[in-house]
Structure 1
């Protein structure tokens, strides 16, 4: 007995054997200090919206994202840390702590050999506001002590007991809480005191411009030892060295601090044994004068420590957000050796390495690296690779910048390939008409192109996806995008939080870079002769991008005219470049822009949705709307760029539109809970259109729609957690064929891929508000123009629920199947998705027949 219309039985797995695997994740880094941590296991952890993302510096790609947090991730900490060199040897499991903006701290475990991840536990909530910093150390092979601080003015000390075996358990207990008053601490560093294995020292700094030193033991009872004064603005970063042996007997500890006053201070802590009461009294008599000259003195256990300012480093021109000692190395005899080298990162877009001169001992800046960017703001943090050979910065643009010392006899720091991606919600994406690459747009005001980059030296090597171009850098949040017909089919139209759609053409530099990336045969180079534009210049206000022509340096024929502001409008430093290896952040921002060729004026509000027919000749666009006149859909003819139609039906914002595969119909869905079908017919005079039907389809906002590639069936998805399958019958009405079983959350994205025309079989990808994705097998229910569809023949079953580790951690905004190429022998289908978690993802879907 077949299911009736309105009900489809379907449980996971009924649709046959299907596997999905992650091919690519593109994501930017949350723009907060303390967000990034480079672990002794070699992986870098960072917060990407509500997820903890991990990337491999060797491969230059994000390997996974860890779901669980309900708010943006502010900070991460690996245990063992890079300083725990004795505890790292031979270790198979590592732990990662992450703190988020809602005060939650989570612990994760990785088996470094296999790369398998597990969520260990969520710590008891002790903070009422966002976590700002985590700092910790291993005090033995199985015990770690760490501290967390929050903008609620509380510092919490924790003990983590971990079993070193791969299957071992992990327990965390709260040892102590400390209130620091109304001026919260934003930076912490924890160290084990020299020759005092059971004693710990904690430095914390924040809004009161002082560094507070606390001493304690493994029980977590910390008492204030002293304050270090000198900085004149917020303390942003603190880092203890491991003990340094300067003479054969003495163990000294160094603390480096950085501040918004643009300076870095190095504090030295001289240790001296306290023998008897009389010596202590004698020592106490000299404290006042010593403190005045050198700094405070404090006692921990049976050792006294004299603090003095070792050096004041001045070189940065803006706030110094992070300082970090070079990780220690392990000498023969299991002795840890502290390298006297400090890395600093600043908002002036520079990272510097500071070292003492051999002869004088004066600390000097020995290496400076930095970035060019359109942004006035620079780096939030800098980090050493555990072996000290590479350094990594994360910046205001959500971007990573990595340099590696590739010199043999002398230092030579060269930029390296790192992952990249959007740093705000990704609102839309689309495959190129050739299917070679993916274009995404975001509220971070950029448009980005991602593509698999094939290795020219060894074509059989692993293929990694890279960002290969950033065609549009805008002054408004970008909401929607569609590819249209163009030279080589590389032309797109995008809509943003302005009332204008903008058309962009691929320049020659991009076409040649794409040839390098995909290792295409040179036959496409015939197109190159027709392309006169080499690249584009960035505009000062981030709006129009002017072309740079292949012949001559002039931007445009009118650039020498005396029309005032135009000569000031572009920044002349953009140099279009052909890349033979994947571009790094600086190059993406400056050298990969596409010129804007047209603007489409007409809408009354911010653009919301855009689509193009399958010939690439007709564009439909909609904008945010509260009334029927504003909610009309505009049709634009590619080439003439005339508005050839204004379709009226909806009363509120049209959320998504799509043309049927034969371009006969345009489907639109809206916030007004209705779907509309328009008949579209091209004539010599232009375009004829009329409203076929308007139908109230769901009880809540309809977010998504998608046509069956083989016929006139289509699916709609809504906030009411349902997906409905409809068809056009008699070219005058729609009929409901089926309602899929209710989903766990609002349905926000749909994409229908055809598999077998004879049986009308296909796969419907469903994306939800919680970030999860499901694949449904849909077949039968054939409807061709003029025939009556039979809903009893339609069958639908859930084929696959994606593993949450593969999925987004918040709303899926768009799903897109790559159009299968008949000449391509790939067995896997490629599905791309983007979402509010700042991520672009690509999956290989393998269907076993």
Structure 2
């Protein structure tokens, strides 16, 4: 086909990524570059704590990312100076380890190499230590019961390539190791100490030479449950050639143990050191030319649940010396992080800082990490969220919450723009509905507007599959459908409307009219996590009080939900309970889990469908907005209707289904209700049809299918049949999402966004000619760079509608997918 729009070029810039962290223990790593790496489904994501934005996602893994590790680490940065290049190691659930090359200052990243596929099961932990400027020794452990030792060689210049080789493999047995830590023994020949712990409740210490050959030298048996985390301190010099190492370990027995490895020359080793003396004073082993006596320095008790993570504070340069602060950070499933330090006078280790919360919402922390400068601490939790605190005190410590990237921690199945395009509403199988918006009065140093999660309207007890915002005038309302077979209607409370004004830097006076109409400030969550009860304004206006109809309701609601008007982007603790929207209606009728929803452009009708294996269950229901009565049941399909969409004049309703059929219904409003008539039922594709989208100005629509094709159709003027206008060239994978937008008011030139099962996105330029016989030509305008795209199935694409006062030269496209992420792109039309 000839190019449809050859005189126009498109450029794409990704302006936002929202994604939650995989809920896995060793998944996060904070590197000396100041950037944080974490696994988000199959991708490695990188975020900047200063801007609270995800910078990129790195595609390459074919399974869930279990662990990440920066090379060099915060401990080793002094050994390599100020490197321009940093590296990230990532391990996934299929046993694959990948090294990524990162240029932090230039914001450049690339796939450096993939380790040989030796692990047969998921990689659970990675650790490394720098031997010199260009060589690192790494260790990886897997649930296959093997620990591999690797030598990773970096190029001395920016243009070289990395190399990796396996130096040794240690067979652990039937109880795998899940925690590792490496450190370098001082001396010219030196050596390496490797600590590992896991399901056998012991800490094992191995000694190896720089060639990577390791042997077991010691085991520590005091823990009474699985070992979850290990970390060696930096070397602590004592003078006269003596030194100490400290090893900290944490366990599911809720305790933390600090082990001291005190050195002395190997010549001082006595014959009875491995007998009675070792029993009384602790184990003794020899590492090269040095003898080490291991003793329990301290037992730390304070957490009330499993301690998943412990980490020494990164070393500090003190003139020409490198000092190891005696400070440990721990993170626990009791949803607290603690900083431990020895008391100055007695030397007894004490908990000096506690952050987090113990409450009904406690879901626990999977790990805690120090910033390179030791001034900030980061936790990642069971809810896929990050929690960041920074010491902002002068003279005394004062740890305050900071902004972090937020997002879903399960597949994001649907999204929609608000009526005016102010924000993006998303739903996910993490059982939440979230709102993302640009915050215009919180800007980065380069004056770039940053996106943030500003509300979490629905926190549910079932996986949420679909959503639609009610179009037309009036307050913000949406309908969501979940696996519970019920559609629920929510209406924006006053606290959200005022927060939205803050996000867009509007005057609060603009809310005078709504202020009189909206008497609900927020919502409370019921004990079962299904209904959200309204919190009304009292007579004093602005002071919320929960008005419930009876005593039962007041007992069911959670009392500490406090609706808040935010003047800056909220953090996780504020979003989780204090930004809920009240539920106004429930829509009963479908027999199975809700699958698709759409609203007409006038805001008067909502159409819904559910999962179906028969024609009766596959009915499309029509609901009247306002009364919320069922006003129509449309029959056509035999299997699940996968997507619904009204034409832009609301005259036609398009549906596509797993039965490979498309259907077009004429919808008309009558004094008695709504009339509907099936005018077309057509087998359009050879496989499941996943997506459909209308031309914004005409009765033309596109359908996308698992058969890797997109077809463009037109409805005849008499609305009696459809004609196939064009079949686009076959795509590289199943087509799972479509969205059509116009570039000019005439509608003759438009853009069709196509999302695929492999996560990639393409934009096609479509031109139609106003002839008696419809004609259409299309050409691929741009293929998104894989580093911009999703790494798994794209579930939905939505163009933001351009308002009359806005330029059509910059269009915004939103996408969501199975990789847990929500993305927003600026598409510039030149």
TM range (shorter): over 0.9
Distance 1:103 1:713 in 2: 47
Name the counterpart of 2:386.
Answer: 400
How far residue 194 of structure 1 moved from its aligned partner, in angstroms, is: 3.0
CA distance in 2, matches of 1:345, 1:192: 26
Aligned match of 2:82 in 90, 103, 111?
90
Cα distance, 1:781 vs structure 2: 4.4
- The whole-number CA distance in structure 2 between the counterparts of 1:112 and 1:546 is 47
1:57-206 equivalences under 5 Å are: 57-195=49-187, 198-206=190-198
Structure 1 partner of 2:533: 546
Q: Is the 8 A contact 1:15 1:797 kept in 2?
A: no
Aligned with residue 451 of structure 1, among 413, 416, 437: 437
Instruction: Look up the match of 2:550.
Output: 559
Alignment CA distance shift 1:15-1:649 (3 Å)? farther
2:465 is matched with 479
Counterparts of 2:148 and 2:359, CA distance in 1: 38
Match of 1:235 in 2: 227
Deviations 1:624-663 (A, max 9, x none): 0000010000000000111010000000000000000000
Equivalence for 1:790: 774
**Partner residue of 1:377 out of 356, 360, 363:** 363
Displacement after TM superposition at 1:67 (Å)? 0.1
Per-residue CA distance 1:276-327 (angstroms, 9 max, x = gap) = xxx54xx122442321122100001111000000000000000000000000
In structure 2, the residue matched to 1:619 is 606
1:169 Cα deviation after fit: 1.8
Match of 1:499 in 2: 485
> Offset of 1:85 from its aligned partner?
2.9
- Give the aligned partner of residue 734 of structure 2: 746
| Equivalences, count | 824
Shift of 1:331: 2.4
Q: Structure 2: which 5+ residue stretches go unaligned?
A: none
Pick the aligned partner of 1:690 from 665, 677, 696.
Answer: 677
Cα distance in 1 for partners of 2:103, 2:806 equals 37
Could you tell me how far 1:455 is from its partner in structure 2? 2.1
For residues 378 and 458 of structure 2, the distance between their equivalents in structure 1, rounded to whole angstroms, comes to 26
Q: Relative to 1, partners in 2 of residues 1:826 and 1:781: Cα closer, same or farther, differing over 3 Å?
A: closer
Deviation at 1:228, TM superposition (A): 0.6
Contact 1:547 1:596 (C-alpha < 8 Å) held by counterparts: yes
Task: Kindly indicate whether residue 735 of structure 2 is the aligned counterpart of residue 776 of structure 1.
Answer: no
Q: Which of the residues 751, 756, 772 maps onto 2:744?
A: 756
Alignment of 1:162-561 (within 5 A): 162-195=154-187, 198-247=190-239, 249-275=241-267, 279-280=268-269, 283-333=270-320, 335-371=321-357, 375-455=361-441, 461-485=447-471, 488-526=474-512, 527-551=514-538, 554-560=545-551
CA drift at 1:540: 1.1
Deviation track 1:342-390 (CA, whole Å, cap 9, x = no partner) reads: 0000000000000000000000000000046764420000000000000
Conserved 8 A contact 1:509-1:576: yes
Asked if the contact 1:14/1:798 (under 8 Å) is kept, the reply is no
* Residue deviations 1:91-114 (CA, integer Å, cap 9, x gap): 100011000000000010012221
Query: TM (normalized to structure 1)?
Result: 0.95
Measured after TM superposition, the shift of residue 166 of structure 1 is: 2.0
CA distance in 2, matches of 1:806, 1:460: 21
- Does the 8 Å contact 1:711/1:782 carry over to 2? no
In structure 2, the residue matched to 1:821 is 803
CA distance in 2: counterparts of 1:313 and 1:248, whole angstroms:
31
Alpha-carbon distance between aligned partners in 2 of 1:604 and 1:286, rounded to the nearest angstrom: 74
List per-residue Cα deviations over 1:494-550 (Å, max 9, x = no partner).
000011100000000000000101112445312222110000001111101000001
TM-score by length of 2: 0.97
Contact 2:16–2:823 under 8 Å retained in 1: yes
**How far is the alpha carbon of 1:434 from its aligned partner?**
1.1
**What is the Cα deviation at residue 250 of structure 1?**
2.2
CA contact (8 A) 1:234 1:260 kept: yes
Greater relative CO, 1 or 2 (CA 8 Å, sep 6+): 1
User: In structure 2, do the counterparts of structure 1 residues 575 and 199 end up closer, same or farther at CA, with 3 Å as the change threshold?
Assistant: same
The match for 1:707 is: 694
Counterpart secondary structure, 2:132: coil
- Say whether the 8 Å CA contact 1:477–1:496 is kept in structure 2: yes
Distance in 2 between residues matched to 1:615 and 1:290, nearest whole Å:
85
Q: Which stretch of the first structure deviates more once superposed, 138-147 or 756-765? A: 756-765
CA distance in 2, matches of 1:434, 1:689: 29
State the Cα distance separating 1:824 from its structure 2 match. 2.2
> How far apart are the structure 1 equivalents of 2:767 and 2:645?
21
Post-superposition Cα deviations, 1:108-163, rounded to whole Å, max 9, x if no partner, equal 00122211111011111110000000011101111000000000000000000112
Task: Judge conservation of contact 2:442–2:568 (CA < 8 Å) in 1.
Answer: no
| 2:613 is the alignment partner of 1:632 | no
C-alpha distance 14-133 of structure 1, shift in aligned 2 (>3 A): farther
Equivalent position of 1:799 in the other structure: 781
Matches within 5 A, 1:646-725: 646-725=633-712
RMSD in angstroms over aligned alpha carbons? 1.7
CA contact (8 A) 2:471 2:599 kept: no
CA distance in structure 1 between the partners assigned to 2:342 and 2:522 by the alignment: 45
Distance in 2, Cα, partners of 1:658 & 1:260 = 51
| Contact map agreement 1:456 1:519 (CA 8 A) in 2 | no
How far apart in 1 are the matches of 2:796 and 2:3?
Answer: 23
Distance change in 2, residues 1:88/1:55 (3 Å) = farther
Aligned 8 A contact 1:9 1:741 in 2: no
Q: CA deviation at 1:459?
A: 11
SS in structure 2 opposite 1:455? Answer: strand
Question: Which residue of structure 1 lines up, in the alignment, with residue 632 of structure 2?
Answer: 645
Is 1:583 the counterpart of 2:575? The answer is no
* Residues 535 and 547 in structure 2, CA contact (< 8 A), matched pair in contact too: yes
CA contact (8 A) 2:468 2:479 kept: yes
State the distance in 1 between where 2:497 and 2:408 align.
Answer: 23
The answer as to whether partners of 2:273 and 2:284 remain within 8 angstroms in 1 is no
- Aligned-partner Cα distance in 1 for 2:808–2:355: 43
* CA deviation profile, 1:649-698 (whole Å, cap 9, x unmatched): 00000000000000000000000000000000011211111001100000
SS at match of 1:780: strand
- Looking at structure 2, the residues matched to 194 and 459 of structure 1 have their Cα atoms a distance apart, in angstroms, of 43
| Structure 1 stretches lacking a partner, 5+ long | 1-7
Find the counterpart in structure 2 of residue 3 from structure 1. Answer: none
Contact 1:240 1:325 in 2 (8 A): yes
1:4 paired residue number: none
**Distance (whole Å) between structure 2 residues aligned to residue 373 and residue 394 of structure 1:** 17
Structure-1 separation of matches of 2:359 and 2:638: 42
1:76 and 1:341 mapped to 2: Cα distance? 23
Measured against aligned partners, the alpha-carbon deviations of 1:538-572 in whole angstroms (never above 9, x if no partner) come to 11111010000011655334134xxx4x3432111
Deviation readout 1:219-274 (Å, 9 max, x if unpaired): 11000001011000000000000111245642100000000000000000000012
- In the alignment, the residues of structure 2 paired with residue 307 and residue 789 of structure 1 have an alpha-carbon distance, to the nearest angstrom, of 87
Structure 1 CA distance for aligned equivalents of residues 351 and 472 of structure 2: 51
- The alpha carbon displacement at 1:760 in A equals 1.6
SS in 2 for 1:29: coil
The answer (yes or no) to whether the contact 1:10–1:797 under 8 Å persists in 2 is yes
Aligned twin of 1:835: 817
